[in-house]
Chain A
Amino acid sequence: KQEVTQIPAALSVPEGENLVLNCSFTDSAIYNLQWFRQDPGKGLTSLLLIQSSQREQTSGRLNASLDKSSGRSTLYIAASQPGDSATYLCAVRFMTTDSWGKLQFGAGTQVVVTP
């Protein structure tokens, strides 16, 4: 069974510290991996998309790495700010699936950045 796991489930850091969020997946045959942010009561905001052929993607203070062979992705957020407080979700598009249109989501990491 293809699964996506995010550990830890929750994380609290002081403002200015770098954030490191982990995502692991059980099958290395993927099309891509997408990181999202979700604020309470809101929809999902796409942060970064990493194709299977890429090792990393960067956008501003965000950097995501991908290691397919070990089934891992890491999202780094530099110099965290209180506005970074949200739930971060990792989603994988597996190749060997009954529906390659779908994203398989992890349960998310809830992040609190304290001033």
Chain B
Amino acid sequence: GAGVSQSPSNKVTEKGKDVELRCDPISGHTALYWYRQSLGQGLEFLIYFQGNSAPDKSGLPSDRFSAERTGGSVSTLTIQRTQQEDSAVYLCASSLGNTSGGLAYNEQFFGPGTRLTVL
């Protein structure tokens, strides 16, 4: 079946502009995660959504970052007033939600990522 998809695959923007990154999770997966991969920081967690619960935003680096998930499926990560240090690959993942073992036991599947370059 179809995996996690992300768009755009590449995004180049000017410092100070806002950008939106999109993620389509695997059908039937109720949990969705955003991560960021940069040369200096490796792979770091940003935010995750589980069903209709309030998202866990504990990994967002600043208030310029926000994310929403509409209809329990597609998610959009928005970065306002982009800075050069925001340049990174943004990865989305999804997993089954609260199965009998609980959310934490479920395998995460990743999309191809969006490479963001801020000039």
Q: Which residues of A contact B (CB under 8 A)?
A: 31-32, 34, 36, 41-46, 49, 51, 89, 91, 93, 95, 98-108
Contact = CB atoms under 8 A, between A and B. Distances in A.
B95 to A, nearest CB: 9
Interface string B11-42: 00000000000000000000101010000001
Contacts of B119: none
B105 A107 contact: no
Interface residues of B, number: 27
Contacts of A107: 42
B110 A99 contact: no
B60 to A, nearest CB: 11
A101 B33 contact: yes
Task: Kindly list the 5 A-B residue pairs having the minimum CB-CB distance in the complex, ordered from nearest.
Answer: A102-B45, A105-B43, A44-B110, A101-B48, A43-B112
Interface string B63-107: 000000000000000000000000000010100000000011101
A89 B37 CA distance: 12
A45 B4 CA distance: 11
Nearest to B107: A49
A51 B105 contact: yes
Contacts of A106: 42
A82 B42 CA distance: 25
Q: From B103, B110, B112, name the one whose CB has the most chain A CB atoms within 10 angstroms.
A: B110
Given A44-B93, A44-B110, A103-B108, 9 more contacts: A32-B104, A32-B105, A34-B108, A42-B113, A49-B107, A51-B105, A99-B58, A101-B56, A102-B33
A31 B42 contact: no
Contact of B107 (A34, A99, A100): A34
A107 B50 CA distance: 27
A91 B44 CA distance: 11
A36 to B, nearest CB: 7
Contacts of A95: 104
Q: From A32, A43, A95, name the one whose CB has the most chain B CB atoms within 10 angstroms.
A: A43
B72 to A, nearest CB: 16
